[in-house]
Chain A
Amino acid sequence: MLKFSKINILITTLLSIIVIFFTISNFTEFEDEFVNKKINLGLDLQGGSYLLLKIDNDPVIVKELQNKAISLKNVLKENNISVLNIRVTDDKKILLSINKKDADKLNQLFNDKNGIVNPYFDQFKSFQFEIANQEGNFEIFFSKYGLVQLKTSSLDQAIEIVRRRVDEVGTNEPNILKRGNDRILVELPGLDDPMRIKNLLGKTANLSFRFVTQTNEETFGAEELEFEDGSEVVNVSKRIIVSGENLIDAQPRMDNQTNETVVTFDFDRVGAKRFGRATTKGVGKRLAIVLDGKVISAPVIQEAIVAGSGQISGDFTFQSATDLALLLRSGALPAPLEIIEERTVGPGLGQDSIKSGLSALLIGFILVITFMLIKYRVFGIIANATLILNLFFLVGILTLFEATLTLPGIAGIILTVGMAVDANVLIFERIKEEIKNEKNQIIAFDAGYNKSRNAVLDANITTLIAAIILFFLGSGPIKGFAVTLGIGIFTTLFSVYFIARLFTSIYVIRNKNKEQLI
């Protein structure tokens, strides 16, 4: 065990230089991309906001079913199946009643893998919809994979919109990730008050331009909608003239004539055409601008607007106009988002955590090396030198992978300092025992290393198992703890068997004739 080949020493030295370099690289700047690596600080250390959003897919499902019901009606008509009744129920099903004699035909339509009525997903081996027969009444609902597909596509759309909105606000390197099939994780480093982002993400931003109807009653084609400021309730036609999808730009402006803040917008060609036609016919009518079921304003159309642009006024402050324009530009979310978890750390606390974490590390480190020095003298120096290199390896590897360091992560490093000496202690104690029965120091040292190996490996594997489980099941800051603890075990084993053993062998071989080396 005490023999070292030259190549072995060379590699160890080289690796040590590399990790020391990367440890130092945290505190300097390099031109080169590859070497300029730094440990990322977690949100708990640099401050920032963590938001977990959940998509409420229910409205999407209902909307899809409504569309399906309408298209189904037409398809059935083409196939000479007469529909007695069709409606979407509250428990997300289409209820369809037809003549009993057409039941087979309907089943055929729904089980045709190449048909358009019920799309078949080859990758899931499943249809989009399932159909259940209940005495001439049919229930049509999304299959398991139909729902998966719907949720995936709604998540894809939503994450794109979320990204646009967050990017527009211009925060520092946001991190936006999918979580499961209906959640979005938004990490905003450096943001200590996520209020504005929360507001922006909390709005679906469904915009529509619709006529205010003349009648005062809620009818089939109209609905009662309230103004956003609660000042008025109007009857608005359900027929949408133009929706937010046709917007290509929106900006906050100051109206020179009225000195009001307004939001100006531009339609695409389709939107411009429709808007032009509707406003030409509807001069004198009120046009409601509806956002998320609330009327922003409902001005009377003075003249046809054919240029494809216009403006919305409605008691905006500059901030609210800016946000509305931003929402309109970024587009509507497919479904509402709810914030189900929020964690925000202010920059002050982050700084304090770094300070206290580092001082705990420094003090813990000093305590441990002092203890080892008193207990083992020369071998204490070896153990301590190993411990220092071990720290360089740990920090160097974290830097190399640009891992995220959290406060529990720092705790993991301190714990590694405390537990890393264990391997050396196991070995040294074993050597002491071996020396009692063995006069030749080199043989005794060799035996000490050999016989303690099982215990050292066992002891480290158990901790590693805990770290791995924590890594896969832990979240956020805790993951950082698992990472430092886990990497710490590997660096500890490496530094004990390659570095400490090298120092030990050099020392023992030089002093093999002295009495009582350890």
Chain B
Amino acid sequence: MIQNLNFNKYYKLFNIISVVLVILSIISILFKGLNYGVDFKGGTLIELRINDNQTTISNLRSAFNNMNLGDVAIKNFGNDNDYLIKFVKKDRDKNLIQNIKKDLQSSIGPVFEFRRVESVGPKVSAELLNKGLIAIAASLGAMLFYIWIRFEWQFSLGAIIALFHDVILTIGIFSLFNIEINLSIVAALLTIVGYSMNDTVVIFDRVRENLKKHISIKIFELTNISINETLSRTIITSATTLLALLSIFIFGGEILKGFSLAMILGVIFGTYSSIYIANPTLVYLKVSYKTVVKEDK
């Protein structure tokens, strides 16, 4: 059994690294921006399958560029025969999809199949984005409330900082690598919020218990003991969750790729932040035996 690793030796080091990463993420989010999908930006997405070997991506490009659709983004989707086509067309024409089918038929022949079409108007996409932001804010608020009634404020603060850390880093990576943000990413972020909290709370439960048990031990040591005591659980749960997520990422198909990637990042950050963000906060806030006992009475 792994026992008594000195996690607390590296609190400062990892705190500095985390601060730097969070700042970098925020810079990327603010200046590089986020790659919103049609859900949030509006526009049309077509998943196209080509059933012959002659048609290349450049054939498709020239075919779509001749349709006067504005800026058309075309890329492979999962394999060589599937393509994802995205564009935003200002004037909405209800025969748009039908016309594209016809045009495509005459330019590359009847060798394709529309596997998926998503078309979202500007009003709806603005609403979806708004709703997504509300959902994330509401989940953060609900967690804040839960932890506030459940623990003392020092613990709440630690958990919330860890939570923001995880969410910001995940969004930061999506921004940095230009990965598309759509509705399923919002679902992933909310689940990350739940998971990050879950992981932190389990260690905090133990810290609280130990504060009452070992009155003389300083919080710096105590967090380390608690992390070690719960370490097996932390590792096993992260491992099984990651195994499930990796299975979705590798075998779950192209549509769930972004979702499972966000979740994988979230679980890694969540596990890390429970140890290196949430616990040091308790140390900085000088949590002691008195913190928990006073509140209990």
A interface residues (Cβ-Cβ under 8 A, vs B): 44, 52, 54, 192, 195, 198-199, 202, 338-346, 348-349, 352-353, 356-357, 359-361, 363-364, 367-368, 371-372, 375, 407-408, 410-411, 414-415, 417-419, 421-422, 425-426, 429, 432-433, 451, 454-455, 458-467, 469-470, 473-475, 477-478, 481-482, 485
Interface check B294, CB cutoff 8 A = no
Pick from B135, B233, B253: contact of A425, CB under 8 Å: B233
A456 — nearest CB in chain B belongs to which residue? B202
Cβ contact within 8 Å between A478 and B187: yes
Looking at the assembled complex, report how far the CB atom of B112 sits from the nearest CB atom of chain A, in whole angstroms: 11
Looking at the assembled complex, report how far the CB atom of B229 sits from the nearest CB atom of chain A, in whole angstroms: 7
CA of A154 to CA of B244, assembled, Å: 49
Residue-wise interface mask of B (124-135) relative to A, using a CB-CB cutoff of 8 A (1 in contact, 0 not): 100010011011
Assuming the contacts A353-B253, A356-B253, A467-B194, asked whether A429 and B247 have C-beta atoms less than 8 A apart, the reply is no
Residue with the greatest number of chain B CB neighbours at <10 A, chosen from A339, A356, A359? A356
Cβ contact within 8 Å between B202 and A458: yes
Cβ contact within 8 Å between A360 and B248: yes
Assuming the contacts A349-B47, A408-B187, A455-B206, asked whether A52 and B124 have C-beta atoms less than 8 A apart, the reply is yes
Cβ contact within 8 Å between B191 and A485: yes
Q: Can you list 16 A-B pairs, Cβ within 8 angstroms, ordered by A?
A: A195-B95, A341-B124, A345-B116, A349-B116, A363-B250, A367-B244, A371-B239, A408-B187, A421-B236, A422-B198, A458-B201, A462-B146, A463-B194, A469-B139, A478-B187, A482-B187
Cβ contact within 8 Å between A419 and B241: yes
Assuming the contacts A343-B117, A414-B244, asked whether A375 and B251 have C-beta atoms less than 8 A apart, the reply is no
Residues of A within 8 A of B72 (CB): none
Looking at the assembled complex, report how far the CB atom of A443 sits from the nearest CB atom of chain B, in whole angstroms: 18
Pick from B132, B142, B251: contact of A465, CB under 8 Å: B142
Interface check B297, CB cutoff 8 A = no
CA of A470 to CA of B142, assembled, Å: 12
Residues of A within 8 A of B240 (CB): 368, 371-372, 417-419, 421-422, 425
A354 — nearest CB in chain B belongs to which residue? B253
A44 — nearest CB in chain B belongs to which residue? B255
Cβ contact within 8 Å between B121 and A463: no
Residues of A within 8 A of B236 (CB): 371, 375, 421, 425, 429
The number of chain B residues touching the other chain, given as a range, is: 35 or more
Residues of B within 8 A of A353 (CB): 253, 255
Q: How many A-B residue pairs have CB under 8 A?
A: 220
Looking at the assembled complex, report how far the CB atom of A300 sits from the nearest CB atom of chain B, in whole angstroms: 34
CA of A345 to CA of B194, assembled, Å: 30
Assuming the contacts A425-B233, A463-B198, A466-B190, asked whether A368 and B123 have C-beta atoms less than 8 A apart, the reply is no
A357 — nearest CB in chain B belongs to which residue? B252
Assuming the contacts A359-B251, A459-B201, asked whether A469 and B135 have C-beta atoms less than 8 A apart, the reply is yes
Residues of B within 8 A of A367 (CB): 243-244, 246-247
Interface check B150, CB cutoff 8 A = yes
Residues of A within 8 A of B114 (CB): 192, 344, 346
Residues 83-103 (chain B) with a chain A CB within 8 angstroms = 92, 94-95, 97-98
Assuming the contacts A455-B202, A458-B198, asked whether A426 and B259 have C-beta atoms less than 8 A apart, the reply is no
Cβ contact within 8 Å between B252 and A462: no
Interface check B183, CB cutoff 8 A = yes
Residue with the greatest number of chain A CB neighbours at <10 A, chosen from B47, B230, B243? B243
CB-CB nearest 9 A-B residue pairs:
A418-B244, A466-B194, A364-B247, A356-B253, A360-B252, A340-B121, A462-B197, A473-B135, A463-B194
Residues 249-297 (chain B) with a chain A CB within 8 angstroms = 250-253, 255-256, 259-260, 263
